[in-house]
Amino acid sequence: MSQPYSLPFQIDLTGKVAVVTGGAGVLGSAMCKSLAACGAKVVIIGRDLAKAEALATQIQASGGVAKGISCNVLDRAALENSAKLIEETFGPCDILINGAGGNHPKGITGQEYFDAETAGKEPSQTSFFDLDSEGFKFVFDLNLMGTLLPSQVFARQMLGRKGCTIINISSMSAFRPLTKVAAYSGAKAAVSNFTQWLAVHLGQSGIRVNAIAPGFFITEQNQKLMLQDDGSFTPRAQKVIAQTPMRRFGEADELIGALLWLVESKASGFVTGSIIAVDGGFSAYSGV
């Protein structure tokens, strides 16, 4: 048996069923492992079944209960089939982590500031006027609809049951839009807004809805943007570090304290509609 996952503090999730979309990524994996280490039965939903099953195997080797499922979070029928399978296997969902999300090259500008002389002349100089509407739409669908649809499907299993919660994954770009990533910034701002809307809508149902907004962490999606081949910081990463008072990137495990606090109704039972920044001070820093 592998070594148990190290937790910042222990909560008891025995008997709880946790569904984590995008669960096989760097941040999602840490969340899945921590929930399983607290006794939850964890379902890892992702497009890559092999990655989801590999993570489930790791969790099982550490004594946890986990299952990997391949499912497109934009396919409502697939989500409903997955929800039925999960309920038959483990029981109804108690905890939903909407971690699926991401960006698309066609929703990104090459320029930080519009320059008419160079705009659009090469891929690195893509301007606002060159953005592809389908690429933009893809980013909104993945992040916003990929949060909405799982919430609709799995929250139905939560109705009438105590201690159920939805945790969405927002971003620093929801607080302040980042240069170049216009689509992603807008989509994550929408996720934060939707989190608050849904918290109000479900406020009398007993289902709490909150979001975690990570600062800057090195993940598979941003690694090439943040690190050179030799491991040194890119110019964009240097800007990020300069705007982060703690002067470093976050570690995936540093999200777990906020996650477990939000999951445990005894600790955060009166918390709903909140967007919790875990960002090393990035959102608080004015740059001066």
> Which secondary structure element, helix H or strand E, spans residue 99, and what is its range?
none
Is residue 113 part of the annotated active site? The answer reads no
The one catalytic residue in 5, 113, 184, 285 is: 184
Whether the CA torsion 276, 282, 286, 288 is positive or negative: it is positive
Which of 208, 178, 212, 207 lies closest to 192 in space, CA to CA? Answer: 212
What CA–CA distance (Å, rounded) separates 28 from 157? 22
- Write out the two tokens for 93: 């969902």
| Contacts (Cβ under 8 Å, ≥6 apart) of 101 | 22, 142, 143, 146, 147, 169, 187, 188, 191
Torsions phi, psi of 156, nearest 5?
Answer: -60, -35
Residues carrying an active site annotation: 184
